[in-house]
Amino acid sequence: MFSVRIRVALGLITALLIALVSSTYALADGPWPNDPQGPQARSIADLYWIMFVAAVVVLAIVDGGIIYAGIKFRERPGHVAKQFHGQNFLELTWTIIPTLMVVSFSVLSWQKLDFINNTRSSDVGMVIQAEGSQWTWTFSYPQEERFKLLKGYLQTGEELHIPVGMKVRIELSAKDVIHSFWVPSIGGKKDAVPGRATELWIQADKPGTYKGQCFEFCGDGHADMLITLVAHPQNEYAAWAQQAVKDANVFLDPLTTVGRELFFSLACVGCHTIDKTTARGKVGPNLTHLMSKKSIAGGVLSPVNEENLTRWVSNPPAVKPGTLMPNLGLSQQQVHDIVLFLQTLK
């Protein structure tokens, strides 16, 4: 019934539709620009929809005209094309209408830019520094009492925590190459450029977790350079900060430093691995997330707590005869220090 050409065309269109639909499924869980969850994202989305609708109307008129003309004036035996030159009405129409459209889009965008770029308004409630590096973001919170650590101030990696309903200025910098900060449902994107200060503001309407993605190709790990933006209800933000400060302090506590130094000076590192440290042993279990395990000593000791860790480190063969982990003959104080350190491995 259909010619080969039409069948091929239909096949291609179907394949294209399937590809489109499946890519929206892939995106369903990812960053998505048209789901605004904050005033800035909303102002961008409004503009987006105005332009989208206008583009669809133009597409329908132009492509409709082409298809109509293609069918009506197609080559047929006995039909001779009329020869003429110029059509003032049409030419004026397709010059004036697009010009008006482009001008109005420019004006609309221009008006929005003031709002979108206004990072220095008086209602900015907090300023957070974001540094991009291959391939992660480091967020530094304000130098205020609530973010104060035993040493320095709170920083988080990859996760950015803000209070709901507050305008937050993000001051961007980059350590190595150009990166770009983008959490689409919360706000527009901005490049982080080495040696140059850039900034944008964000604000979330509702508590929740919003995904972001580095938007400037920055090397091998670019696709995995993600941002997790967590918006807390205002009255819970202080509690989050308190807990984050507490967790960060564990690593700065002089008490755990003694144990850490001891651990790295002993035979422990010959058998165990702790990610991002010099402990790279392969004989024993990886201790990077020791405190998240259900048990230690191959399941003999459970749960993983101070008491069981102390029993185990003091004399492993006494707990589990035949174990490869030797009794290092540590003093009670040394065991205590090491166990304090081990408890920081979450």
Residues at the contact surface with ligand CUA, assessed by CB under 6 A: 132, 135, 179, 214, 216-218, 222, 225
Q: Which is nearer to ligand CUA, 152 or 219 (CB)?
A: 219
Contact in structure between 294 and 302 (CB atoms under 8 Å): yes
Least Å distance, CB 34 to ligand CUA, is 22
Least Å distance, CB 196 to ligand CUA, is 15
Q: Which is nearer to ligand CUA, 39 or 132 (CB)?
A: 132
Q: Which of these, 288, 284, 255, lies nearest to 272 by C-alpha position?
A: 284
| Residue found under tokens 């291609």 | 12
Q: Which is nearer to ligand CUA, 214 or 274 (CB)?
A: 214
Least Å distance, CB 137 to ligand CUA, is 8
Least Å distance, CB 187 to ligand CUA, is 17
323: left (phi > 0), else alpha (psi -120 to 50), else beta? beta
Least Å distance, CB 218 to ligand CUA, is 3
Strands 136-140 and 155-157: antiparallel
Residue 39, H or E segment: helix 39-72
The count of residues in the chain is 346
Least Å distance, CB 215 to ligand CUA, is 7
Residues 6+ apart with CB under 8 A from 32: 184, 185
Least Å distance, CB 189 to ligand CUA, is 11
Between CA 274 and CA 251 the distance in angstroms is 14
Q: Which is nearer to ligand CUA, 167 or 179 (CB)?
A: 179
Task: Read off the tokens for 313.
Answer: 């480190």
Task: Read off the tokens for 15.
Answer: 């394949």
Output the CA–CA distances (angstroms, integers) from residue 107 to 46, 54, 110, 147, 215, in the order listed: 14, 15, 5, 42, 26
Q: Which is nearer to ligand CUA, 137 or 341 (CB)?
A: 137
Q: Which is nearer to ligand CUA, 130 or 340 (CB)?
A: 130
Between CA 274 and CA 293 the distance in angstroms is 14
Full 3-state SS string of 281-321: CCCCCCCCCHHHCCCEHHHCECCCCHHHHHHHHHCHHHHCC
Q: Which is nearer to ligand CUA, 17 or 223 (CB)?
A: 223
Least Å distance, CB 39 to ligand CUA, is 26
Q: Is it true that the peptide bond before 303 is cis, omega within 30 degrees of 0?
A: yes
Q: Which is nearer to ligand CUA, 135 or 237 (CB)?
A: 135
Output the CA–CA distances (angstroms, integers) from residue 177 to 79, 192, 196, in the order listed: 63, 8, 11
